[in-house]
Amino acid sequence: MAEINFEGRVAVVTGAGGGLGRSHALLLASRGARVVVNDLGGSRDGSGAGSEMADQVVQEIADNGGEAIANYASVAEPDAAKSMIDDAIEAFGKVDIIINNAGILRDTSFKNLTPDALDIVLKVHLYGAFYVTMAAWEHLRDNNFGRIVNTTSGSGLYGNFGQANYSAAKAGLVGLTRTLALEGQKYNITANAIAPVAASRLTEDIMPPEMLENLAPEYVSPLVAYLVSDECTDTANVYSLGGGYYSRTALVEGAGVGFDHIPTIEEIAHRWDEIGDLSKGNELRGVAEQTGQIIEVMTRLNA
């Protein structure tokens, strides 16, 4: 198989000063992409700021013969997010690839969750992906090419104790990804999401060191790089990955139960196990398929 490269492509990677973002940026640059390395330079709870983290990654890329510029803006503000796209176009003439990776944690039980802790996590993870992608969208459409990868999480797919704010933000990114995929299809824009498990500032104290040693961010980046390549046209997918494991994950709906009348509560209870049975489930790819399955059962019952 011919080597996949990114010559002529321009990528914006948010939260690229360390961890997963740094790994993505270094890999893309090593294969010829010109990269905007965005990082606010703050702590993992979103406080503080600085230029050192982004500058170090830019220097690493330059030392390896690649091209990159730094951007220190916060993804949580629309004008700041737009500056990343403006910088890409000013420096490199266009933008092709968006990897929304920036993230913070404000973990707490739901009982202790404050509006401020909810607001900042939603802004960085969910609004940030919106703002950066919104700023790039017209450019991608005009160029009839775009590759978008959003970073969701197992917490977003399945929930996690003490992470109501983070889980909600990450779940929202799945809905955003699928809608971008639908709206971008006619413009050769793909959108996919990853749910990675990797060693980073966000996981350094919630996993044992021996596990983190086997979860290097570099395991995640090859799949991300393939998703943003010209060669990959798959879209609207979510991938679970980490430590050398890679798998697509999907929403599944069971065969379901149909009534030819408005059921009583007791009738629902009587058939509860059937309603919850996923053994004959199917992957549904969109709202139309979900609605279609309902209409099919209705039609059969009323024939």
| 225-253: pLDDT as tens digits | 999 999 999 999 999 999 999 999 999 99
In the numeric block, which tokens belong to residue 150?
A: 């959003």
Alpha-carbon span 241 to 223, nearest angstrom: 9
Q: Which of 72, 127, 166, 239 is catalytic?
A: 166
Rounded to two decimals, the pTM is: 0.92
Catalytic status, residue 166: yes
Nearest CA to 176 out of 104, 108, 98 is that of: 98
* Phi, psi dihedrals of residue 112, rounded to the nearest 5°: -105, 5
- Using DSSP's 3-state secondary structure scheme, residue 296 falls into helix
Measured in residues, the chain has a length of 303
All CATH 3.40.50.720 domain ranges of the chain, comma separated, are 10-249
Element spanning 35, H or E: strand 34-38
Residue in the block written with tokens 């968006």 = 98
Instruction: Give me the architecture of the 10-249 domain, per CATH.
Output: 3-Layer(aba) Sandwich (3.40)
Q: What Å distances lie between residue 213 and 152, 220, 243, 247, CA to CA?
A: 22, 14, 9, 21
| 47-95: pLDDT as tens digits | 556 799 999 999 999 999 999 999 999 999 999 999 999 999 999 999 9
All CATH 1.10.287 domain ranges of the chain, comma separated, are 252-301
Pick the CATH number of 252-301 from 1.10.287, 3.30.200, 1.10.1740, 3.30.1690: 1.10.287
pLDDT of residue 207: 62
Alpha-carbon span 286 to 139, nearest angstrom: 26
> Is 156:195 a contact under the CB 8 Å cutoff?
yes
Low-confidence ranges of the chain (pLDDT < 70): 42-49, 200-212
Strand order in the sheet with 67-71: 67-71, 34-38, 10-13, 97-100, 146-151, 189-196, 238-242, 245-249
Residue in the block written with tokens 């966000």 = 202
